[in-house]
Structure 1
Amino acid sequence: MPADPIGRFLAALDPDHREAVSGRPRAEQERLAAAWERELESDDELDTLDELSPPAAEAEAARRVMNREA
């Protein structure tokens, strides 16, 4: 698993979004990864999911961030 926030965010994305975000400028990737980390930290619902399945919680947070971007 990637250690840097951008790598972790990209790993949590579905393949289509991963490809789209990979093509964006580094600053945009950093902004999205920061939004993803805030989503993971701030949502109690994701805390519960994280206890059951950390990858599922990360994927859900990534989905939410990308939905807000649309």
Structure 2
Amino acid sequence: MPTDPVGRFLTALDPEHREAVRSRPREEQEHLAAAWERELESDTELDSLDELSPPAAEAEAARRVLRNEPG
């Protein structure tokens, strides 16, 4: 299991989005991973989901980050 933020973020993504994010420059990947970590820390709904299934909470946060990404 990856321990760096980008690796953890990529793991939380579904395979299609994972490949799309991997094709981006490293700087963009780091930006998305930082947004993902902020989402995990700040959203109280994810806290409840995290208690039941940490991978599900991480995946939901990853989906939200990509959905809210400008562009």
TM bin, normalised by shorter chain, reads over 0.9
Equivalences, count: 70
- Between the aligned residues of both structures, percent identity stands at 80
Q: How does 1:1-70 map to 2 (within 5 A)?
A: 1-69=1-69
In 1: Cα distance, 2:57 partner to 2:4 partner: 17
In 2: Cα distance, 1:46 partner to 1:2 partner: 21
Q: SS in structure 1 opposite 2:8?
A: helix
After superposition, the CA RMSD in angstroms is 0.7
Aligned residue type for 1:3? T
Q: Which runs of 5+ in 2 are unaligned?
A: none
Report how far residue 48 of structure 1 moved: 0.5
Aligned residue type for 2:2? P
Q: Which runs of 5+ in 1 are unaligned?
A: none
TM-score, normalised via structure 2 length: 0.96
In 2: Cα distance, 1:34 partner to 1:68 partner: 14
Report how far residue 53 of structure 1 moved: 0.2
Structure 1 runs (4+) greater than 3 angstroms displaced: none
